[in-house]
Amino acid sequence: MMRCHRFRYESPATLREACARMTDAGGEAMLLAGGTDLVPNMKRRQQVPPTIISLRRIPELRETRITDGRIWIGAMTTLASLTTNPDVRNRHPALFKAAAQVATPHLRNMGTLGGNLCLDTRCNYYDQNYEWRKAINFCMKKEGEICWVAPGSPRCWAVSSTDTAPALMALGAQVEVAGVDGERCLPVSELYREDGIEYLSKKRDEILTRVLLPVPVAGEFSTYWKLRRRGSFDFPVLSVAAWIRRDGDGIVEAARLVLGSIASRPLLAPASSILVGSALSEEVIQAVAEEASSLARPLDNTDFSLGWRKKSAHHLIQGALRELRGDNPRELGPIARRAAELVPVF
Ligand SMILES: Cc1cc2nc3c(=O)[nH]c(=O)nc-3n(C[C@H](O)[C@H](O)[C@H](O)COP(=O)(O)OP(=O)(O)OC[C@H]3O[C@@H](n4cnc5c(N)ncnc54)[C@H](O)[C@@H]3O)c2cc1C
Ligand code: SF4
């Protein structure tokens, strides 16, 4: 049995206290939300913080409300409760579909939105137990010198595997982070860095407190498509989140397309210039898929073969856009149909 290392456990009752304790720990402490990622990582000695600061006793981090024309979702909201929230389910299908496809029902009952957004990056050479990693002399992300995926590279290429981040980026959401000096908001897209080790832009002692979602207006549609080995549960190896706003004649007025699990951060695809002004014709969808899938340059550090994952990007992008056009996703070919069928029915 793998056990956690010895650590100090603190459980503050207020956000202010939690911020103060994080700062006092000088960047050495780690936050515990649902623990579904952190605890297994501690058992495998990927993360060995001397102090754990739990967020579980802070009620304000669980609040969800609509204020100033935005939906505020507390970082400690579980993924399970996110999927049963009618505001999320009916108004933001991309977020609903992303949260509903994270892991398994048990893990969604424990796992939180904040923890999902701050999820550690993943790699086949890193997500192994201590003995396995020691046998290859570790790697740059933890205790080693080189990257086994790209040995000449000065950086780590571990992959961002969060499901909700691409969806929130496509929806134009913001996050609020808090520290001893107060709170600040930033777009979800600015929370991430293209670096497998330092993958978050926030300071180490800052706490993600809320996600702020705009309340959608008429004509907005969104979706989230995920590729993974097992439909029952698995991390994404590729994901596509798409959002559009159409006018009364069906012409696209604004659009965002985000690809997940292909880099150390979710990537905003250069699609809006082609989509805006179009009626989502087949030619436009093909052109967007061609342009956006060129971003997918997967490395050999997750599941499936490289070539197949790259080809799948094209199919997933097309499927997501056709769904937004109003096509039935179950009639869109094998890969697209499989992605659509993976969304659990409640
Ligand atoms: C078998 C298995 C399958 C999984 N499949 C998926 C999947 O398909 N998709 C997916 O996205 N995830 C998956 N996960 C990972 C994980 O379960 C989810 O991402 C979950 O949402 C993490 O949330 P948590 O609250 O448990 O985070 P924790 O494990 O508590 O924390 C995760 C990280 O975020 C930090 N953190 C937590 N809360 C905050 C905060 N408020 N502010 C700042 N930092 C914070 C922690 O310090 C830690 O570094 C899987 C995990 C397992 C074990
Ligand atoms: S990408 Fe390279 S450095 Fe990063 S976890 Fe994988 S092997 Fe290690």
Taking only the tens of pLDDT, the chain with its 346 residues reads 899 999 999 999 999 999 999 999 998 999 999 999 999 999 999 999 999 999 999 999 999 999 888 999 999 999 999 999 999 999 999 999 999 999 999 999 999 999 999 999 999 999 999 999 999 999 999 999 999 999 999 999 999 999 999 999 999 999 999 999 999 999 999 999 999 999 999 999 999 999 999 999 999 999 999 999 888 889 999 999 999 999 999 999 999 999 999 999 999 998 888 999 999 999 999 999 999 988 887 788 888 888 888 889 999 999 999 999 999 877 766 655 555 554 544 3
Pair 193, 313 in one domain: no
Q: How many Å apart are CA 210 and CA 52, to the nearest integer?
A: 20
Residue list, ligand 1 pocket, CB within 6 Å? 30-38, 40, 55, 75, 79, 102-103, 107, 110-112, 114-116, 118-120, 161-163, 207-208, 233-235
299 lines ligand 2 (CB under 6 A): no
Q: What is the CATH number of the domain that holds 264?
A: 3.30.390.50
Q: How many Å apart are CA 277 and CA 273, to the nearest integer?
A: 8
- Which amino acid does the sequence have at 273? S
Pair 86, 208 in one domain: yes
Compute, in angstroms, the gap from residue 37 CA to the centroid of ligand 1: 4
CA angle, 71 as apex, 273 and 228 as ends, to 5°? 60
147 lines ligand 2 (CB under 6 A): yes
Which residue blocks in 249-305 are alpha helix, DSSP H? 272-275, 282-293
Q: Which ligand is the nearest neighbour of the Cα of 116?
A: 1
CA angle, 135 as apex, 130 and 141 as ends, to 5°? 60
Residue 312 lies in a domain: yes
Q: At what angle do helices 334-341 and 306-325 cross, to 10 degrees?
A: 70
Pair 90, 196 in one domain: yes
Q: Which ligand is the nearest neighbour of the Cα of 37?
A: 1
Q: Which residue segment(s) compose the domain that 79 sits in? A: 59-118+159-214
- Which amino acid does the sequence have at 39? V
What pLDDT is recorded for position 2?
92
Question: Of 169, 191, 214, at which residue does a domain stop?
Answer: 214
Residue 133 lies in a domain: no
What pLDDT is recorded for position 344?
44
Compute, in angstroms, the gap from residue 309 CA to the centroid of ligand 1: 24
Pair 181, 272 in one domain: no
Nearest CA residue ID for atom 17, ligand 1:
36
Pair 231, 336 in one domain: yes
Strand 238-246: give its sheet, edge to edge. Answer: 220-227, 238-246, 252-260, 267-268
Question: Which two structure tokens, joined as six digits, stand for 318?
Answer: 């097309």
Pair 99, 204 in one domain: yes
Q: Which ligand is the nearest neighbour of the Cα of 163?
A: 1
Backbone region of residue 182 per phi and psi (left: phi > 0; alpha: psi in -120 to 50; beta: other values)? left
Q: What is the CATH number of the domain that holds 88?
A: 3.30.465.10
Please tell me the total count of domains within the chain: 2
Pairing of β 51-54 and β 8-10: parallel
Pair 323, 293 in one domain: yes
Residue 305: CB partners within 8 Å, gap ≥ 6? none
Pair 250, 197 in one domain: no
158 lines ligand 2 (CB under 6 A): yes
Backbone region of residue 313 per phi and psi (left: phi > 0; alpha: psi in -120 to 50; beta: other values)? alpha
pTM of the predicted protein model: 0.96
111 lines ligand 2 (CB under 6 A): no
Residue 31 lies in a domain: no
Backbone angles phi, psi at 240, to 5 degrees: -130, 125
Residue 286 lies in a domain: yes
Compute, in angstroms, the gap from residue 166 CA to the centroid of ligand 1: 15
Question: Of 173, 190, 214, at which residue does a domain stop?
Answer: 214
**Do 235 and 166 touch, CB atoms closer than 8 A?**
no
Q: Which ligand is the nearest neighbour of the Cα of 124?
A: 2
Locate the ligand 2 atom nearest the alpha carbon of residue 148 and give its number. 7
What pLDDT is recorded for position 299?
80
Pair 193, 314 in one domain: no
What pLDDT is recorded for position 316?
94
Return the CA Rg of the chain.
20
What pLDDT is recorded for position 339?
55
Locate the ligand 2 atom nearest the alpha carbon of residue 121 and give its number. 5
